[in-house]
Structure 1
């Protein structure tokens, strides 16, 4: 991965950053990072916003544009949306619901195979994150100060489908709850379809 792609990846997985912050992450000078950002801006991949600070000048934070997000895999978004529309038109919403239930069962079986051999909750969540990462969700786990776990998905490869049929999102949340078992609660705390830059699930032992 070249430096420009690394910068785009960091903006995707870590959210808006200043040129100085990015420079430290990719081992460049601030000026070098700005050159890469300005080149990406010319291509329409990034934009910036000036954020007021309590003291001093505003800080310039760089973020991905829609075109920048589109650089990451989306599992053939246009075709997926067209197929969903056709299923609804030809067979009705009930048929779409049956398809989602079928997908849900297949996903649950895959995750159970992956998570099944893991032991304690942190290991099970890590195994689930690894399975989601393989599917293109750029998933990772963050341990929170209160001991809870945050399953973070920095990318949604089915976002286009979920926008036209939000039962996909409901289905995934229910699958996570069943796969991780009754020993924990799982709640979605961030949601891309609600305007967040990522999806995140808070997992707490009970």
Structure 2
């Protein structure tokens, strides 16, 4: 099933194209148009638009009879993100099962291992940064690829910070709050500096978020 939240945000024809290609594994434009009851040139344009966005790839297959090769489209790996994944619910269930099998501290040990692996995976990607700001900006980009949603900000009063408005592990943090400090320590090791983490509640001033303030860039201590 196509991820429900996207249905209200994209063209219905794009959803139909992606779903049909998910079911079939790949189709020529002519057959895709026939199944969706959309004109050939219209469905061809939809496919081209989705290809430009990285969700489809195109290849040509020679016809068995005389004629030009037929154009086929199929989904790219990027399109997998449009379909529901086994997300945080499975993670929580697994952590609870591990607790039952190996004791109370087992989930924390596993989470610690997760952040250590993330540290080793991301550290080489930050080595080429020429400044702490650049390094922190690269880190924010890596976090966004993992499902976080945020923005880098700088002002003379507070210095440089990463403002995050969504974190896919938030339900995990709520049940296992020690993981918050594990993540923070991991980020500090990557940047080589102290980070002050502040939870900003939602309200008239804007939506709830978490600020990661890079202390060596002018941020006052907590």
TM-score scaled by length of structure 1: 0.58
The change in CA–CA distance for 1:105 and 1:95 in structure 2 (over 3 A counts) is same
Aligned to 1:32: none
Q: What is the number of equivalent residue pairs in this alignment?
A: 136
Asked if 1:91 corresponds to 2:73, the answer is no
Question: 1:154 and 2:160 equivalent?
Answer: no
Report the CA distance between 1:167 and its aligned residue.
1.9
Task: Give the equivalent residue in structure 1 for 2:126.
Answer: 115
Per mean C-alpha deviation after superposition, the further-off stretch among 121-130 and 105-114 is 105-114
Q: Deviations over 1:153-172 (max 9, x none)?
A: 11110112111111221111
Root-mean-square deviation over aligned CA pairs: 2.9
The aligned residue for residue 14 of structure 1 is: none
Structure 2 residues not aligned, in runs of 5+ = 1-5, 11-83, 202-206, 218-222
Q: Which runs of 4+ in 1 moved over 6 A?
A: none
* Aligned partner (choices 133, 151, 156) of residue 140 of structure 1: 151
Shift in Å, 1:89: 1.3
Deviations 1:102-141 (A, max 9, x none): 1111111122122111011110110100100110101321
Note if contact 1:100-1:167 (Cα within 8 Å) is conserved in structure 2.
Answer: no
User: Which residue of the partner structure matches residue 188 of structure 1?
Assistant: 197
Aligned to 1:205, what secondary structure does the other structure show? helix
> Please, which runs of 5 or more residues in structure 1 have no aligned partner?
7-72
The residue number in structure 1 matching 2:178 is 167
Question: Which structure ranks higher in relative contact order (CA pairs < 8 Å, sequence separation ≥ 6)?
Answer: 1
Q: Check the 8 A contact 2:152/2:160 in 1, yes or no.
A: yes
For the 8 Å contact 1:74–1:156, the answer to whether it is kept is: no
Q: Does 1:126 align with 2:134?
A: no
8 Å CA contact 2:112, 2:179 repeated in 1: no
Structure 2-normalised TM-score?
Answer: 0.54
Structure 2 residue 111 is the aligned partner of structure 1 residue 100: yes
Distance 1:99-1:124 versus aligned 2 partners, 3 A rule: same
The structure with more radius of gyration: 2
Distance in 2 of aligned mates of 1:104 and 1:114: 16
